Amino acid sequence: MTETNNARKNEQEPCRYCGGNCPNDEDHACDGYLGDIDSIYATGTELFEFLYAKCREDHDLLAMIVDEYLVSLSDNKLIELEDFLTNNFGDD
């Protein structure tokens, strides 16, 4: 069985716990969805907090992430970042 990628407008995919309408109807959502027992719905914020905590402990990890981030940037984004750094931390 393959999961179809039907992107109905403004409607989220079926609940990954029960297959029901939980993401669209939190008032009647199942316990799995509400508690997110398997962290299926972990948000970017949670990811950030996790990574941030890890990076504070492990500076090698931080260096790796910064490195990968810089490599992933386009030329325009690099120029933007350079401007940002110069404006905020530059000497002149």
Residue number, 30 or 65, with CB nearest to Zn ion: 30
Query: Nearest approach, Cβ of 35 to Zn ion (angstroms)?
Result: 10
Can you point out the beta strands (E) in 1-92?
none
Query: Nearest approach, Cβ of 88 to Zn ion (angstroms)?
Result: 44
- Cα separations (Å) of 92 from 8, 20, 80, 82, 88? 52, 58, 17, 14, 10
Residue nearest to Zn ion (CB): 15
Query: Nearest approach, Cβ of 42 to Zn ion (angstroms)?
Result: 16
Work out the angle between the directed axes of helices 59-72 and 44-57 (0-180°, nearest 10): 130
Query: Nearest approach, Cβ of 14 to Zn ion (angstroms)?
Result: 8
Residue number, 18 or 78, with CB nearest to Zn ion: 18
Residue number, 20 or 55, with CB nearest to Zn ion: 20
d(CA 65, CA 82): 18
Residues binding Zn ion (CB under 5 A): 15, 17-18, 20, 22, 30, 33
Structure tokens at 1: 């069985």
